[in-house]
Structure 1
């Protein structure tokens, strides 16, 4: 039983009318809870004969109640049957409790992260896109990069939406030259127009005794080969890694098609030619 779906029903009732932008929610509620989903004039109506059993009031339940309320403010209406459980769940976010619900102020952004950062299915896509816009600080048009896998390769992975990069697994040792190791991920990528990737180590790589040989790899937008990773072994006492090994990550970067123009001299600046620690 989906507690997110239950949150929607307990907040809105046994008959819920949906606009087109929330059709994804109506379809998910029907999939999780059964009932009826019908087209009525310019909207869709989801209905149930009785309220579903709530086995646990958890954060997905809170997410459902929040989405059912609408986008006016970060307000969670009280579901009377579960008032105590909701208050306990929301207490880390210091809400202001009223007779009708909970207002979250200073920790509103944290609550939004908790509700959406790791959820992939039980959510309204409308509200999820608002979360994405919050992450980038402006209206965000959803984009995706494409990837394909060689035999034995593992797909790019990230735990949270807000994680900057997609982790890659090294799956094959191509060759070894002294303390230089060449690995293959077996992953090919195609970024959306206007993007390329940086290939950088995961922060945990320091435990392995290895570093990335070229500091930062550039995966150009038109490159279609598998992503290969050169590593240098700094600590001879460390064992060779067991594969697959989640060692590096892809960071999406914006591409700017700047052009180069040669001039006889450059504009003067206060700093001038000072470098290599010249600022102190």
Structure 2
């Protein structure tokens, strides 16, 4: 298990508890909206930054990916527009989740609501070099849809 240290932001409701896995086989730990000053309403096609109330120290060599919750997406059209979002191991600010309402009705994010899930993932950094040519492939420069539809 990858250790992630957490501290509460000033004014956060500490009674909500830390992120947690809701089942034994869950890949993502649920993040809760920490809105002690009241709910946030997101109009259709609008977005808002929702605080989790947490600062995190992620182990070097890992990232935390922020992903949407499928139930919110299916039932309400709630998405994370930069999904998966990345929290780098050297970030120490309050973790926020950008929430987009792609649904047809206003959506209210309430205090304590499970708004996203986080997945700890290893990071591999690449090295970049400039070259005169790239090795050829069968696909070559074929882009979007070039490998077929089905």
> Do these two structures clear the TM 0.5 threshold for a shared fold by scoring above it?
yes
Q: Kindly indicate whether residue 6 of structure 2 is the aligned counterpart of residue 143 of structure 1.
A: no
User: What TM-score does the superposition give when structure 2 sets the normalisation length?
Assistant: 0.80
Matching residue of 2:108: 240
Q: 1:261 to 1:268 in 2, by over 3 A?
A: same
Unmatched segments (≥5 aa) in structure 2: none
From 71, 82, 85, the counterpart of 1:204: 71
Matching residue of 2:50: 183
Encode CA deviations 1:107-162: one digit per residue, 9 max, x unaligned: xxxxxxxxxxxxxxxxxxxxxxxxxxxxxxxxxxx432211223215310102343
Matching residue of 2:140: 272
From 71, 74, 82, the counterpart of 1:214: 82
Encode CA deviations 1:155-198: one digit per residue, 9 max, x unaligned: 10102343111110012368979722221111121122321111
For residues 262 and 254 of structure 1, the distance between their equivalents in structure 2, rounded to whole angstroms, comes to 26
User: What TM-score does the superposition give when structure 1 sets the normalisation length?
Assistant: 0.45
Q: Indicate if the aligned counterparts of 1:147 and 1:190 stay in contact, CA closer than 8 A.
A: yes
Matching residue of 2:128: 260
Specify which structure has the higher proportion of helix: 1
For residues 157 and 186 of structure 1, the distance between their equivalents in structure 2, rounded to whole angstroms, comes to 15
Specify which structure has the higher proportion of strand: 2
Q: 1:191 to 1:231 in 2, by over 3 A?
A: same
Q: How big is the alpha-carbon RMSD for the aligned residues of Structure 1 and Structure 2?
A: 2.3
Cα deviation for residue 254 of structure 1 reads: 0.7
Unmatched segments (≥5 aa) in structure 1: 1-141
Matching residue of 1:18: none
- Structure with higher Rg: it is 1
Paired positions, count: 139
For residues 194 and 277 of structure 1, the distance between their equivalents in structure 2, rounded to whole angstroms, comes to 34
Matching residue of 1:165: 28
Q: Indicate if the aligned counterparts of 1:197 and 1:218 stay in contact, CA closer than 8 A.
A: yes
Encode CA deviations 1:193-224: one digit per residue, 9 max, x unaligned: 32111111111121233211222211001111
